[in-house]
């Protein structure tokens, strides 16, 4: 028998941690320290599991940069005592948290796998059991003595996805997460099939924790007829440093002079603007494919390439928290730091 991997499970809250109270028949949180009682199949895994509840438990809609830094710090504090970590998290903002952890944990060489469920663990048809079991099995997996997936991932419904490439696109089906612009890292069926060529390799560098994020960013989602006043209200926000411009198709935007003048004024006022496509099901910003995107480049809008909005939010907050200049911010938003864009 191989030596068991030591896996840390961090419960932050969310649907997955709910079971039925036998007396009141009401769903309520259960203490994950009793995880073996509720999931006896865990004893069959080649892993020793320890559980930490990150208090106060929250609905994932209440996540924010302060929460991300606390979670990253907790992982960092326990990093050298465990072979991997599984984070139980609500689904609504899981992709944001996964993206944030990618940037806050530099030189990660062990698995950090986020998972959750669409149905509570105490419901008969819950997807939570399989999600927890498979996440822990993957976090414990090794190849040639090294962790099999040494990066931040999301596991959901038989698929392992890179954390900063994933997004939630369904609130009803069990396969709630997808990664249109990057292949799955593993597919789980009768066997676990790893897509090794797309998994980031381990590093010999020490893990570095970043613990500052700057929230002075915003998002403008373009729509036909968006008004000059609506955009100006965003650009006039005190302390604003950067804006994600969610554009049409391959990075296109209206070409009328009034619209472009508002953007140009914002850029001239030292607001960094990043062009991210609204297309979730695959797509990338291709500057120059259409005339509409060339105007944005002329103004000084930075191409986000195929980054997701979730990853763009986390990356901007991380970089601004590092105190980079506007020119450095533009440079780093155009290159891959943690595999978040296709170079």
pTM of the model: 0.93
pLDDT greater than 60 at residue 1: no
User: Among candidates 62, 9, 54, which has minimal Cα distance to 35?
Assistant: 9
* Catalytic residue (choose from 12, 15, 277, 284): 15
Among 124-128, 151-155, 288-292, 318-322, the least confident range: 288-292
What structural domains and CATH numbers belong to the chain?
5-209 (3.40.50.1170), 217-333 (3.40.50.40)
3-state secondary structure 40-76: HHHHHCCEEEEEEECCCCCCHHHCCHHHHHHHHHHHH
The pLDDT of residue 96 is 97
97-115: per-residue pLDDT in tens?
Answer: 999 999 999 999 999 999 9
pLDDT greater than 70 at residue 173: no
Among 12-21, 60-69, 71-80, the least confident range: 12-21
The pLDDT of residue 118 is 81
Q: What percent of the chain lies above the pLDDT cut of 70?
A: 92
Confidence bin at 41 (pLDDT 50/70/90): confident
Contact 110, 85 (CB under 8 A): yes
15 a catalytic residue: yes
Confidence bin at 31 (pLDDT 50/70/90): low
């Amino acid at each position: 028998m191989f030596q068991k991997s030591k896996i840390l499970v961090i419960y932050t809250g969310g649907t997955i941690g709910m079971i039925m109270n036998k007396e009141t028949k009401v769903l309520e949180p259960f203490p994950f320290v009793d995880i073996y009682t509720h999931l006896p199949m865990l004893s069959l895994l080649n892993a020793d599991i320890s559980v930490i509840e990150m208090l106060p438990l929250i609905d994932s809609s209440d996540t924010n940069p302060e929460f991300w830094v606390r979670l990253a710090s907790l992982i960092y504090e326990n990093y050298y005592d465990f072979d991997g970590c599984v984070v139980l998290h609500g689904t609504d903002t899981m992709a944001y948290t996964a993206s944030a952890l990618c940037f806050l944990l530099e030189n990660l060489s062990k698995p950090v796998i986020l998972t959750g469920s669409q149905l509570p663990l105490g419901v008969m048809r819950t997807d939570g059991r399989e999600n927890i079991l498979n996440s822990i099995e993957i976090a414990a997996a090794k190849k040639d003595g090294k962790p099999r997936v040494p990066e931040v991932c999301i596991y959901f419904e038989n698929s392992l996805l890179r954390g900063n490439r994933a997004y939630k696109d369904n609130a009803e089906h069990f396969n709630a997460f997808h990664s249109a612009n990057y292949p799955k890292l593993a597919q789980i069926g009768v066997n676990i099939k790893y897509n090794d060529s797309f998994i980031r390799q381990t590093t010999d560098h020490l893990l570095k924790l970043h613990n500052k994020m700057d929230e002075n960013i915003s998002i403008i989602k373009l729509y036909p007829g968006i008004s000059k006043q609506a955009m100006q209200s965003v650009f006039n926000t005190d302390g604003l440093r950067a804006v994600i411009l969610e554009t049409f198709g391959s990075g296109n935007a209206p070409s009328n002079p009034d619209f472009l003048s508002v953007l140009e004024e914002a850029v001239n006022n030292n607001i960094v603007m990043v062009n991210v496509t609204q297309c979730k099901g695959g797509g990338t910003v291709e500057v120059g494919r259409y005339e509409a995107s060339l105007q944005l480049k002329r103004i000084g809008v930075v191409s986000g390439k195929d980054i997701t909005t979730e990853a763009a939010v986390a990356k901007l907050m991380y970089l601004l928290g590092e105190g980079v200049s506007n020119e450095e911010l533009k440079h780093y938003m155009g290159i891959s730091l943690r595999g978040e864009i296709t170079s």
